[in-house]
Amino acid sequence: MHIKKDDTVKIIAGREKGKTGKVLTVIRDKNRIVIEKVNLIKKHQKPDATGKGGILEKEAPLHVSNVMLVCNKCDTGIRIGHKVLEDGKKVRICKKCQELLDE
């Protein structure tokens, strides 16, 4: 998967199209990601032993095909390439400006 935790992504499809946010969780086996304050749903929670209950808002997962990574330098949605450095480390790069995305 080309998206990792703490990446900034832009939604390119669906009802949240055009919004950007930080990736909170990556669910690899289902090809889904959870983005901060995007794709909010209302969950009806029954009170438990702590007494907390009611209608909660939480982020729902989005499919990874509906998002694009945002480059820090370009500040737009980009495609990702891979490059092997001299020390043998494989890193992600921006296809537009050749900027390294992994530190």
Please tell me the total count of domains within the chain. 2
Helix, coil or strand: residue 30: helix
Asked if residue 2 is part of any domain, the answer here is no
Question: At 22, is the pLDDT very low, low, confident or very high (cuts 50, 70, 90)?
Answer: very high
Asked if residue 37 is part of any domain, the answer here is yes
pLDDT at 44: 95
Interatomic CA distance for residues 21 and 100, integer angstroms: 20
CB 46 within 8 A of CB 54: no
What is the span of the domain harbouring residue 45?
A: 8-70
49 and 63 inside one domain? yes
Return the bridge partners of 41, or none. Answer: 58
Asked if residue 93 is part of any domain, the answer here is yes
The whole-angstrom distance between residue 27's C-alpha and the CA centroid of its chain comes to: 10
Q: Is 56 a residue whose pLDDT tops 90? A: yes
CATH assignment of the domain containing 59: 2.30.30.30
CB 10 within 8 A of CB 67: yes
47 and 82 inside one domain? no
For the chain, give the mean pLDDT.
Answer: 94
